[in-house]
Chain A
Amino acid sequence: MKLAYWPGCVSRGFTSELHGSMALVAERLGIELVELDRANCCGAGIIAEHNQELADTLNARTFALAQQTGLAMMNICSTCQGAQSECQQRLDADSSYRAHINEVLSGQGLSYEKGKDGFTNKNFLWLLVEDYGLDQLAEKVVRPLSGLRVGPFYGCYVVRPKERLGYDEFPERDLYLEKVIEALGGEVIEYDGARKCCGFPVITMNRETSLRQAGTHVGDALDAGADCLVTPCPLCHLNLDMQQPEAAKVVNRDLGLAVLHLPQLVGLALGAEPKQLGMSKHIASTGWVEERLASSVPA
C-alpha cells in the first residue's frame, strides 16, 4: 500500500512524537508514505472563519499536489480531516466555483479535479479500518494489548457533521476506534466524553471553558476505569495531555491519565517500545500503560 501523506502541522510541532510513531508504524504495517512536503496548513477552520475562499484554495492546492502523485491521500489529524473535508465539500459541489479556485492554481501547474482516479483523503483511522483491514492489522499484532483498558477519544472533526464526513457510505466511522482497540487485543472503556469536544479551539479565547471540557472528559474516563485514552487528533492531544495539569486545577481533582496517539497504540501492539514511540515526551506519564503491558507476555 502506497499513499500520499499529509502529516499536518501539529504532528511536526508540539506533538512530534506522532509524526515519528506514524513513520515507524507505517513501516511495520508495510505502508509506503510519500510525504507531501510542499503542501500547506489546512487552516484548522480558522482560515475559513476569516476568508472561506482562501481556505478552499489552500486545501485545493494540497489535494492537487496529492493528485499529482496519483495516490490516495492520508492524514493523521482529525482537525485536518474535518477542515479539508469542509473545503472539499464546497469544491465538489459546484463546477463553476471549482473552476474559479483552479484559476489561481493553474498558474502553478496545479489543478484539483473532482473524483480524479477515485481521489480520497482519509484519516489514518479510517484508512486502517476501510482499506488496510482489521483482520490484516490483527495478524501483525505481536504484543496483544491484553488487559489494557483504553478509552477512545475521537475529536469532533472526524465525527461531525455526519452528512459531510462520508457517514452515508461508512456509517460506523464513529465506532472505528473501538474496533481498532479490540483488534489490537485491548479492552474498550465506555465513558461519556468519547465523542465530545476537547476544548482546544477556545484555549486562547476562553481558557476556563476549554480546560473544563478537557478535565471533565479525562476525569470521566478515569472514573470508568481507563488505563489510557487514545486519539487520532493531535490537537485533542494538546488539550488532554499537554494541558492536563492545568485542566486538573479547573475541575479541581487529581487526573494523571496517559493519552496516546493512535499510531502509538498500534505501535505498542506491533511490538515497538514506548521510547521508540516518543511516549516519554508526553506530559501525563505513560508509566502505568507500560506496567500494564509488561505484565502481558509477548506472543
Chain B
Amino acid sequence: MASYTLKVRRYQPESGEGPYWEEFDVDLDPSLSVLDGILQAKDRDDGSLSVRCSCRAAICGSCGMKINGQSGLGCKTQIGEAHEAANRRNGGSEPIVVEPMGNMPVIKDLITDMESTHWEKIRRITPWLLPHGDPPEREYVVEPESMIDITQSMACIQCGACVSSCLSMEADPDFIGPAALAKAYRFVGDPRDGETVERLHDLANDPHGIYDCTHCFSCIDACPKGVAPMDQIMRLRRKAGEEGIEDVNNGDNHVNAFVKMIEKKGTNDEALLIQESYAPGVKGKLKPTKAAIKGLTESLPTVLRAIKTGKARSLSKLIPGIHPKLPDGAQDEVKAIYKHAEEHREEFNIYIKGEDDVEPEPDETATEEKV
C-alpha cells in the first residue's frame, strides 16, 4: 500500500463554471491502476467525480484518458508507474496529472463526447465490407494467410486513445484521424472487399485524408493494443501509390519524386525534389501537376528569404539536377539495391512475424574502447 495524489481536470457543466483542477489523495498498491485510484477517490471523497469505465482489464476500451499528458487507458496504467512518470524531471512529490482525452469535447470531468470526433470519423470511412458479385451460398471462404495482414488493425478496441494523442488533428480537426484510417486499412486489406481502389481514391483525395498525417508516431505510443495506426496509414499510402492514384494533395507525386531522386543522386537534391514534386519531368518536358502553380508560388517567398541569408546561395540548391551523385561507383550500388528491392517489395511486419532472433551479446569492452 502506498499514498498517491491525483490531480484531476474537472468540469461540471451544471455548475455553469469553467474547468478546474482538484487534487485527491488515494492509498493503494502500486501495481493497481490509475482507474482504481480514480474510483477510490470517487468512493471516498466525491461521488460526482465522473469517469467512463467497464471491464477494468483493457478489453472494453471505455476508460481512455490522458495521464501525465500521455493518452492511454486508465485501467492499463499502473499507478506506481504513473507516479514515477510524474516525477521524472523534478523528483519529489509531484501529483499524477489526469485529464480527459484530447481532440474531443468534454461532457463532464473525464467523460468526452466520442460521437462528434471519433464515431463520426469511423462512419466516414464506410466501416463495413463492400463485396462485389452475388453473395456465396454459404460463408465466404478465404485463405487464413490472406487475413493475417489485417489482424493488426482488427485488434482495435475503439478506445480513442490514438485520436486523443493525434498531433495532426490538433492542428486540423477535420483530419480523418488514426483510428478511422486504421479501420479503413482493415477493409482495404480484406480479400473479400470489392471496392478497395474506390476506397483508396476517396481517402487519398480527401484533403484531410491519408496525406494529412504528419508521421509523428503519437498514435503508436498511445494505442494499448499495438495497432500502430500510423503504420496502417503508411500502408494505405503504399497501396494508393501502387494503384497509381494521383491525388489532389500531391502526396503520391512527392513520394515518387523523392524515391526517384535518391536512385539518381543517393542524397537529397532539394531543388530537384521541389521541382519534381510539383512538376515531374517526363522525357525532358515538364508536366505540371494540379497543385504545381499554387505550391511553387507559395514556396517562392521562403526560397527568396533563404537566398538572402545565404542558406540557398549555391547553384546546386537552386538549379534542379546539378547536385552531385555519390562518389566512386557508390551510386551504382544504390541503383543495384533499387533493382533488387523493386522486384521483391517484401514487407516485414514485426507484429505478425515476431522477433525470432535472440538478443545479441554486445561486446561492451570493445565498444567502450572505440567510443
Contacts and interface: CB of A to CB of B under 8 A. Distances in A.
B50 to A, nearest CB: 26
B295 to A, nearest CB: 6
A56 B349 CA distance: 12
B145 interface: no
B201 to A, nearest CB: 16
Interface residues of B, number: 83
A45 interface: yes
B76 interface: no
Contacts of B334: 40, 58, 61
B90 to A, nearest CB: 10
Contact of B311 (A53, A57, A283): A283
Nearest to B238: A49
Interface stretch (A138-146, A208-216, A224-232): A208-216
Interface in A235-262: 242-243, 245-246
B287 interface: no
Given A104-B337, A156-B215, A196-B167, A1 B309 contact: no
Interface stretch (B114-122, B152-160, B182-190, B217-225): B217-225
Interface in A97-126: 97, 100, 103-105, 107-108, 114-115, 117-118, 120
Interface stretch (B8-16, B21-29, B125-133, B322-330): B322-330
B250 interface: yes
Interface in A66-100: 70-72, 82, 89-90, 92-97, 100
A13 B317 contact: yes
Contacts of B295: 204, 207
A98 to B, nearest CB: 8
Contacts of A70: 370
By DSSP majority rule, is chain B's interface helix, strand, loop, or mixed?
Answer: helix
B355 A197 contact: no
Interface in B260-274: 262, 266-268, 270
A41 interface: yes
- Kindly name the residue among B305, B341, B361, B366 whose own CB sees the greatest number of chain A CB atoms within 10 A: B341
Contacts, number: 243
B325 to A, nearest CB: 11
Contacts of A205: 211-212, 249-251, 254
A288 interface: no
Contact of A58 (B88, B251, B306, B337): B337
A196 B221 CA distance: 13
B270 A206 contact: no
Interface residues of A, number: 88
A293 interface: no
Contact of A50 (B175, B238, B310, B356): B238
Interface in B30-89: 88-89
A82 B211 CA distance: 20
A92 B357 contact: yes
A129 to B, nearest CB: 13
A132 to B, nearest CB: 9
Given A44-B258, A72-B371, A207 B213 contact: no
Interface string A28-68: 00000000011011011111111111101110010000000
A161 B301 CA distance: 35
A202 interface: yes
Contact of B212 (A41, A95, A161, A206): A206
A3 interface: yes
14 contacts: A9-B268, A12-B267, A37-B326, A38-B327, A40-B262, A45-B234, A199-B214, A204-B254, A204-B295, A209-B214, A213-B167, A246-B301, A281-B310, A283-B309
- 7 A-B pairs with least C-beta separation: A115-B360, A9-B268, A160-B217, A118-B367, A54-B341, A197-B216, A118-B362
Given A51-B341, A72-B367, A199-B171, 10 more contacts: A50-B241, A50-B255, A50-B258, A52-B347, A56-B348, A57-B337, A105-B337, A160-B221, A162-B221, A283-B305
Interface of A: 1-3, 9-10, 12-17, 37-38, 40-41, 43-54, 56-58, 61, 70-72, 82, 89-90, 92-97, 100, 103-105, 107-108, 114-115, 117-118, 120, 131, 156-157, 159-162, 172, 175, 178, 196-197, 199-202, 204-210, 212-213, 216, 242-243, 245-246, 280-283
